[in-house]
Amino acid sequence: MQIQLPWPNKDLSPNARIHWAKKAKAAKAAKQVGHLCALESKMEIDWEGEIHLWITFYPPDRRERDDDNLIASFKNYRDGIAQALGVNDKRFRTHPWLSDQPIKHGVVIVKITQGIT
């Protein structure tokens, strides 16, 4: 099971110094995108226990980034995915990887598995 998402909005970075309303708007939009992309993938989770998210971040350029900031920027996508799958996101185990290979506009690929594979 795999989902492709756009690069997270810069306003969702923990380092962004923006008005709370602007951040809230970006967060709501990201949750909706995560939800819609998960629904479009037509995946269903019919197993119990942990759900592993293997997240690969392909940046839009070669600037250096911290993986912990990317994970934080990904939070609203994660919430939208959980909502679409009808699961509590506390079951998610996150495995991030930041590619050194940029892709135009950036992209985030999420592979969802049961257990470690």
**Residues contacting 12, CB < 8 A, separation 6+:** 23, 26, 27, 30, 72, 73, 75, 76
**CATH of residue 6:** 3.30.1330.70
The total of structural domains in the chain comes to 1
Q: Given pLDDT bands bounded at 50, 70 and 90, which one contains residue 37?
A: very high
Mean pLDDT (whole number) for 80-102:
94
**Which residue segment(s) compose the domain that 87 sits in?**
2-114
| Choice between 67 and 8, residue whose per-residue pLDDT is larger | 8
Segment 50-62 shows an average pLDDT of 95
Whether the CB-CB separation of 15 and 69 falls below 8 Å is answered with yes
Q: Angle 67-85/20-40 helices, nearest 10 degrees?
A: 60
Whether the full predicted model's pTM is greater than 0.85, yes or no, is: yes
Residue 3 gets which letter from DSSP? E
